[in-house]
Amino acid sequence: MRKFTCWLWLALVAVLGNLAGQSFTSGEEPAAVVKRVGEDIRYLASDALEGRGPGTAGLQKAADYMRGRFQELGVTGGGQEGGFYRPFQISIDTEVNASETQLVLRGPDSQEIVLELGKQFQPLAAGGQGKVKADLVFAGYGISAPKFEYDDYQDADVAGKVVIVIRREPQQGDEKSVFEGKKTTSHSFIRTKLQAAKKARAAAILMVNDPFTTKQQKQDVLSKPSGFGTSPAGIPFAHVSHDAIHQLLNRAPVKVGDASLMTVETIADKIDETLAPATQPLEGWSAEFRCRFKKVQAEVTNVIGVIEGAGPLANETVVVGAHYDHLGYGPFGSRKPNVREIHNGADDNATGTAAIMELARRFAGASEKPRRRLVFIGFTAEERGLVGSNRYLKDPVFPLEDTVAMLNFDMIGNLGDKGLQLGGVQTAKQFQALADQAIEEDDLKVQMTKMLGGSDHSGFYGKGIPVLFCFTGLTDLYHTPEDDFETINVEGVVETIDFAERLLRGVVEMPERPTFVKPAQRGPRRQAQAYLGIVPNYDAEDKGLRVTSVNEGSPAAKAGVKDDDLIIQIGDVEVLGIEELTAGLRNYRAGQKVKLIVRRGDGKETLEVVLGRPGK
């Protein structure tokens, strides 16, 4: 082992020594490189590109810009019919089908309250579509929490009824709250409320905002149809305004002792004071609720350029990637979801996109072809759950078995005192020595981290391909409209590109293929987080969680989970989407065995998984 390590070090030193000073910006003033890279970032992060969100014209402009650069450099297209694009359709939103949606509350003596769609009620896709006509029951916060000795459904007959519930949980903002003080417990979560109502066999849910939040926000805001996810829980669900509920309560007040409570505020105050449920039927009142949804589709595309290699290793591929999409106008993914503004995504990830275009320039301008093929990919729909990179992994330009490494750039615009964070050095035996030598020959401060993070390289690693990942850290501007060009350290971006070029040349010219290193398998530890080892498909419209890919050697792989399986149950938890799978995993520890039910084709498979613990 020592002999191998020594030989490896000397071989890599020789490779990098031969490459020292071979940056193909040589002869070019550094200021000119900074200017060019800065112009790329400035354009990609300009308002004209509308935040590069799926469904915007700006995202296509960004793709066209990359294609134009590849064409200018003489890079070969890796897309359809010799072009640079590999387009596909994704679902970007869920809308209500207004002609098939209504909510009417009916009471004694032909009383009727017809709610206005979008203003007084908004159906939510997290519940699902359907048609219900049933009696109304006020059900407090819609919480069943024996741990906290609070249960809105205890001894209540809500089977087949439409329940009205208050959002979140009692005693918010109170340090002494039994619901863990000012912390937010899982009983505030929408999915938890949906599951509690389903368990109580309610027919539908009408949810009204809690007064604590409306006072803070100074408004009563209804969520978008897709605001709480689009995996249907199988129970019709609508967000209803205070105005509409107050119209109902004025005619059918909630009675607690001698008090008749006719506002959400007074009901919440009473529950907060007594911590006693106020669940009761609203006598004589019923709801007729029907809703249907429709998916909003958009065409997006990966942008792919190829520089062929020369020599005996020319059939081997090194992928260089960065996602070029961002959040558009929000609110999807935004840390300011109530603000509809362009999210320009200068750092995330105009910087990474500029990096792969600059590296393509340097390699395309070389006097000799590289030893290995280089495939430069601008991935789309990363912000939607790594959709573009996972699409490539399903339909690669060149076989994955011949793909020897992947270098990814995501958010490299804030190089500062902490330096560049380089991930993935542990994924190939040769990478540590390669990185050490590159650092020795560069003035850049580099922190090598074993944390791989959730970006486009992760799917490649799951397929057994060594990866390297360049990142300069999060800032307070992450996923906000303030992530603009003016905040970017362009000189730092160029420094990162220069360093990455050294790494990339080392990988491309390496005499032997990088040796993949599997994640360390460690024994279970008490209270260790449970790990399954799949890449989920967030874009799927199924009732369940679709598996995009299974990580090699993971608990899921060992249990027989396959790509495209639909997970519908883990243990006793019905899986409707990522939220339920995550909640289900929380019930177990690493080393425990759990039943996993999947749909595969037209049938069902019941698998036994021994859960693992993620590596560091």
DSSP class of residue 349 equals I
CA 608, distance to chain mean position in Å, is 27
* Cα atoms in the 13 Å half-sphere on the side-chain side of 460: 34
Query: Most confidently modeled of 370-384, 511-525, 580-594?
Result: 370-384
| 543 and 473 assigned to the same domain | no
Q: What confidence score (pLDDT) does residue 25 get?
A: 53
| 78 and 136 assigned to the same domain | no
My answer on whether omega of the bond before 108 falls inside 30° of 0, hence cis, is no
Segment 408-460, tens digit of pLDDT: 999 999 999 999 999 999 999 999 999 999 999 888 999 998 877 789 999 99
Largest distance between two CA atoms of the chain = 92
Average pLDDT of 572-600?
86
| 323 and 401 assigned to the same domain | yes
Whether residue 270 is contained in a domain is answered as yes
- pTM of the predicted model, to two decimals? 0.79
Whether residue 550 is contained in a domain is answered as yes
Whether residue 527 is contained in a domain is answered as no
Among 241, 258, 291, which residue terminates a domain? 291
Whether residue 615 is contained in a domain is answered as no
Q: Which residue matches tokens 């519930």?
A: 165
| 264 and 323 assigned to the same domain | no
| 61 and 182 assigned to the same domain | no
Whether residue 522 is contained in a domain is answered as no
**How sure is the predictor about 297, in pLDDT bands with cuts at 50, 70 and 90?**
very high
**How sure is the predictor about 14, in pLDDT bands with cuts at 50, 70 and 90?**
very low
| 367 and 342 assigned to the same domain | yes
Q: What confidence score (pLDDT) does residue 130 get?
A: 95
Average pLDDT of 298-309?
98
- Angle 227-229-231 (CA atoms, 0-180°, nearest 5)? 145
Whether residue 524 is contained in a domain is answered as no
Q: In Å, how far are 62, 345, 385, 483, 525 from 333, measured between CA atoms? A: 20, 12, 10, 14, 34
Whether residue 485 is contained in a domain is answered as yes
Segment 369-393, tens digit of pLDDT: 999 999 999 999 999 989 999 999 9
Are 162 and 203 in contact by the 8 Å Cβ rule? The answer is yes
Q: How many domains does the chain have?
A: 3
Q: What confidence score (pLDDT) does residue 549 get?
A: 82
| 356 and 321 assigned to the same domain | yes
Are 317 and 407 in contact by the 8 Å Cβ rule? The answer is no
**How sure is the predictor about 553, in pLDDT bands with cuts at 50, 70 and 90?**
confident
Among 260, 291, 322, which residue terminates a domain? 291
| 279 and 340 assigned to the same domain | no
Question: Between 242 and 574, whose confidence is greater?
Answer: 242
Q: 104 is in which domain, residue-wise?
A: 98-291
Rounded percentage of the chain residues whose pLDDT exceeds 70? 93
- Domain CATH for 271: 3.50.30.30
| 150 and 276 assigned to the same domain | yes
Segment 145-177, tens digit of pLDDT: 999 999 999 999 999 999 999 999 999 989 999
| 314 and 422 assigned to the same domain | yes
Whether residue 523 is contained in a domain is answered as no
- Domain CATH for 566: 2.30.42.10
| 179 and 139 assigned to the same domain | yes
Among 291, 312, 329, which residue terminates a domain? 291
Tokens of 105: 């509350």
| 270 and 415 assigned to the same domain | no
Q: Which amino acid is at 32?
A: A
pLDDT of 519 above 80 = no
Q: What confidence score (pLDDT) does residue 524 get?
A: 44
Q: What confidence score (pLDDT) does residue 381 get?
A: 96
Are 127 and 227 in contact by the 8 Å Cβ rule? The answer is no
Residue 558, number of CB atoms within 10 A of its CB: 15
